[in-house]
Amino acid sequence: RDLIDPIYENTPVLIAGDRLAELPDYLDELATVYTISAFEQMGFDLSPDSIWEEDKLTLDGSHGALIRHLLNTLRNKGYLLAEKDCLQRSKLVLKTNPEDLYQVIFARYPDFFAELTLLSRCGEHLSKVLSGKVDPLELLFAYDQGITSDHFYQDSTSFLPYNQMIADIVSRAASRLPEGRKLRILEIGAGTGGLTRHVLAALPADRTDYFFTDISAQFFSGAEQKFNTWGTLQFVSLDIEKAPIEQ
């Protein structure tokens, strides 16, 4: 605790503030607008008072549960009304479209460019994802306007303060080890290595064994290139929901 408290007490200054108070509501509204746009692109009639029989909706496939969740979200926000076994479009009108709302949010929060870029990229192609025409991973890990998921998880406004905080905590812990003592670190769900880069920079490479793990090995080739100048770094598949000793 004495390692964490001094760092944690200063972190809210980096990630909070009155200017950000409205950001979650803005992002929620943008996600809602993208959702409605996606359903319209998929052929759902979203004109006022239109009615759908729920048992006739085509919701099979790998994204059926997600589609139901999104429909329930629209119902909770008042855009859809539940009438017996039907869903009815309410008279609640969208005040804007995705493109205009994105520009409004970006003008107010330009330092959240990475977050907004990923949200808009996924939102614009949501209908194709839900209909199985586009793999969502292709959107998440695409290169667009200089923004990738790698940048998002490593240096974006949402993640950078936490990455720095964790790196500082690990550095303090390492400094307390006896001289010459080996440090062994297991990172679970390392993914693109966004946190890894910050933590490695705070560690002595000559006496650190670092285990970069993820449930999927698809991240390993990129991480090997990214950290090829670092010392002992091992890449291991690990599903933490299973007994580690069996893996």
**pLDDT per residue over 214-242, tens digit each?**
998 988 988 999 998 887 799 999 998 88
Say if pTM beats, i.e. exceeds, 0.85. Answer: no
Q: How far is 171 from 183, CA to CA, in rounded Å?
A: 11
Residues 125, 127, 129, 131, CA torsion sign: negative
Cα dihedral 102, 157, 119, 137, rounded to 10, equals 160
Rounded to whole angstroms, the Cα distance separating 138 from 207 reads: 37
End-to-end Cα distance, the chain: 31
The set of residues, in sequence order, having a beta carbon less than 8 Å from that of 198 and lying 6+ positions away, is: 154, 163, 164, 166, 167
Residues 222/199, Cβ–Cβ less than 8 Å: no
The helix/strand/coil state of 216 is coil
**Residue type for 90, please?**
S
Neighbours of 112 (CB within 10 A): 19
Give the position of tokens 């005040």.
95
- β-strand partners of 88: 51, 81
N residues, the chain = 247
**Inter-residue contact 89 to 79 (CB < 8 Å):** yes
| Residue in the block written with tokens 């980096």 | 14
Report pLDDT digits (tens) over 4-54: 555 555 555 454 455 667 888 899 999 999 999 998 898 888 888 888 776
pLDDT tier for residue 1 given thresholds of 50, 70 and 90: low
d(CA 161, CA 154): 10
Contact 48, 91 (CB under 8 A): yes
* Cβ–Cβ < 8 Å for 227, 196: yes
Span 148-193, pLDDT tens digits: 788 888 988 889 988 998 999 999 888 888 888 889 999 999 998 9
